[in-house]
Amino acid sequence: MMSRFAYLIDKIKAAEFSEFPFRHIYIDAFFSSDDFSEITTAPEIAISPAHSDGHLFSLLFENGYKIIDFPGCVTNKDQYIRWHAEKKVTNTVTNTACEGFGVTLRLVAPQTPLISHLKEFLSGPQFQTAAAEKFGVAAADVYADNGIQKYLDGYEISPHPDVRKKALTYMVNINPHENSEELDHHTHYLKFKERYRYIETFWQHNPDVDRCWFPWSWCESKSVQTKNNSIVIFSPSNNTMHGVKTNYDHLAAQRTQLYGNLWYHNVALQNDYPSWEDYVVGGAGARRHSSLPSAIKSHLPAPIKELAKRVLAMSRRESNVIGDRIEHHRTGNNQPL
């Protein structure tokens, strides 16, 4: 039997690629107006306003949501509530490139037939295959992970291109609040600032080194996905920089997305997982360890070595170049989006 949402597949197949700021497809008005209205007014999506963080969690749990382990987030609601009361800047909880953290909840038990059907459709092979084929990804090489998610205030993932194991990602804004497009809780699509773009070249020449998160100050935001009922789909590569940093009142309504990934079954990587500090020389990057393996420098192509020499001639404050060190067996800061 044909799905009510089968027309979405036709939209993906017909969408044209955009190359700015990286290769992706963007579709405005993804759902029909009737479908989108019914989705965003469903009780699981349009949660009643809450009077406190504790009350909000109770409402979300009652409506079928569960806290999930998600990059940039904590899973202990009490820890989050204590932090959120003061929102003190911290870069020690999830990633040193971030200043805050949030909580992500996924809808695991839909209560209305429409939302149940939508959840099943997004998890089905027809939708996943269409998205994969659009980007030349073999469906047999990947497995899917997706869902309807809400992200609470403070949620942050600093700019990153996604890890190499991720084959494809998509995000659809289904925010239930009318003023959602004006709020500060949307995904930014970015590019490295000119003086940091050698990092992309390093990744290109070293496919066994995974990619990581970077400080916001290293990048420039080129576009923001504010439009409700819009979808962005892309296949991660060395320049697909994106990030989120939320600051909004989640008691009235919450940032809500259809979010999904395709993951490769097998990706061979070396045992070292550098973080952004490992790409800094003569400064913050040296603070964690006095003797780190010189794994990066030996792999640098000649043009990048020459660029490194020129950048190192700059003032110490601005000399951020490819590091000549990777901390051995570092695994803490390479989470995907």
| Domains, the chain, with CATH or none | 7-264 (2.60.120.620), 276-318 (no CATH)
pLDDT band at 89 (very low <50, low <70, confident <90, very high): low
DSSP-assigned beta bridge partners for residue 125: none
The Cα–Cα gap between 221 and 223 comes to 6
Asked if pLDDT for residue 55 goes beyond 70, the answer is yes
**How confident is residue 324, by pLDDT bands cut at 50, 70 and 90?**
very low
- The secondary element (H helix, E strand) that includes residue 199 is helix 198-205
Compute φ and ψ for 119, nearest 5 degrees: -60, -45
Segment 216-243, tens digit of pLDDT: 999 999 999 999 999 999 999 999 999 9
CA–CA dist 242, 223 (Å, integer): 10
pTM for the model stands at 0.83
CA 234 to chain centre: 11
Average pLDDT, the chain: 84
Tell me the average pLDDT across 142-165: 94
Say what the pLDDT of residue 270 is. Answer: 65
d(CA 39, CA 36): 5
Q: Rounded to the nearest 5°, which phi and psi values hold at 214?
A: -135, 160
- pLDDT band at residue 286, thresholds of 50, 70 and 90? very low
In the predicted structure, residue 285 carries a pLDDT above the cut 50: no
Sequential DSSP letters for 235-271: ---TT-EEEEE-BS-TTT--EEEEEEEEEES-----S
What the block records as the tokens of 306 is 């020459």
Tell me the mean pLDDT in the region 280-298.
Answer: 45
